[in-house]
Chain A
Amino acid sequence: QKEVEQNSGPLSVPEGAIASLNCTYSDRGSQSFFWYRQYSGKSPELIMSIYSNGDKEDGRFTAQLNKASQYVSLLIRDSQPSDSATYLCAKGGYSTLTFGKGTMLLVSP
């Protein structure tokens, strides 16, 4: 079983809709989780981190963590074409982050 799993997509949503990106992980001991956004040809950029069960909101982004289900999600409200990118889920380990393969999001005008 892969440590961090994501659906590769693409996930297509119309402009203004809510985009829901999901991630599951295999290590019950993981304590920290991150969402990175990566535009084509660019480096990953940290957009959210979450450590406790529940929701964490930052502007149009909401991260959700459910440790019992080993599940992390990212909701993007009022999606914009500029949100089109690959979203990488990562979990914190002893001293490194382990990344999923990413989900490509396409927001159509």
Chain B
Amino acid sequence: DTAVSQTPKYLVTQMGNDKSIKCEQNLGHDTMYWYKQDSKKFLKIMFSYNNKELIINETVPNRFSPKSPDKAHLNLHINSLELGDSAVYFCASSHTGAVIYGYTFGSGTRLTVV
């Protein structure tokens, strides 16, 4: 009955590898997001999808590629991982109009690049 679920919860990988993080929500929301939280706890928007369409793509290296097969799923693929990619990545979802309702966050994926 988890509302927004992410897998994996922890990911340790070597520099240069390619990895994916998956996110699924069962809330019936039509908008999904990826946020990156750095070591100083700053949450920064990376991508936003509404009904499978990319609507926000912040200044993020093109090694990061989101993909939304349907409005309940949003995945994040990262190519050629770098040390600076180490962070916690949060998926979130909302009804259109997050400005009114706020988000529901997933439990996060702690990515460590060694």
Contacts and interface: CB of A to CB of B under 8 A. Distances in A.
Interface of A: 31-32, 34, 36, 38, 42-46, 49, 51, 86, 88, 90, 92-99, 101-102
Contacts of A36: 102
Interface residues of B, number: 25
A101 B40 contact: yes
B106 A43 contact: yes
Contact of B107 (A43, A46, A92): A43
Contacts of B56: 95-96
Interface string B17-46: 000000000000001010000001111110
Given A86-B41, A102-B41, A95 B106 contact: no
A92 B98 contact: yes
Contacts of B106: 43
A49 B107 contact: no
Nearest to A30: B99
A21 to B, nearest CB: 14
B52 to A, nearest CB: 15
Contacts of B101: 49
A93 B99 contact: yes
B75 interface: no
Q: Which of B43, B100, B103 has the most CB of A within 10 A?
A: B43
A80 B48 CA distance: 36
B47 to A, nearest CB: 10
Given A86-B41, A95-B31, A46 B48 contact: no
Nearest to B96: A95
Contacts of A46: 102-104
B83 interface: no
A87 B108 CA distance: 17
B99 A32 contact: yes
A98 B105 contact: no
Nearest to B33: A96
Given A101-B42, A102-B41, A95 B107 contact: no
